[in-house]
Amino acid sequence: MEISTKELARVNVVEVKGRVDHDSAPDLHKTLDELVQARRYNIVVDLSGVDYMSSGGLKALLSAHKNTQGRQRGDVRLVGPSALVAETLKLVGFDRIFKIYPQLVDAVGSF
């Protein structure tokens, strides 16, 4: 898995590529946690390059969501999940928790 971050004026974009599995999910959790600790509470996670997400990856997303919700109206928004990842998100009810956008520009512009 590869993770890159980009800081914009009001939003941080976290681009994730590859498999988010048991071994790599802690890296995603750490990246998201570091943003929250740096008081960057508006986060967009670009999942367009993710072909698999384990429960560990889902836990990392949920943890970041909870940590940003009470912080000056922060939020974590998701963009571009593949069909398999979108199905996983829907299966566990994340489509009711997270705002999910098809395009990065829409997710960034939603803040």
Q: Where are the domains of the chain?
A: 2-109
Q: In whole angstroms, what is the distance from residue 9 CA to residue 87 CA?
A: 32
Measuring CA to CA, which residue among 64, 66, 59 is closest to residue 43?
A: 64
Q: In whole angstroms, what is the distance from residue 101 CA to residue 64 CA?
A: 18
pLDDT at 70: 73
Which residue carries 């398999």 as its tokens? Answer: 84
Pair of tokens at residue 74? 């922060």
Whether the pLDDT of residue 71 is over 70: the answer is no
Whether the pLDDT of residue 32 is over 90: the answer is yes
Mean pLDDT, residues 28-55 taken together: 96
Whether the pLDDT of residue 69 is over 90: the answer is no
For residue 105, the Cα-to-chain-centroid distance in whole angstroms is: 15
- 4 CB neighbour count, 10 Å cutoff: 12
**pLDDT confidence band for 13 (50 / 70 / 90):** very high
Domain 2-109 has CATH 3.30.750.24: yes
Which residue carries 């590869």 as its tokens? Answer: 2
- 89 CB neighbour count, 10 Å cutoff: 21
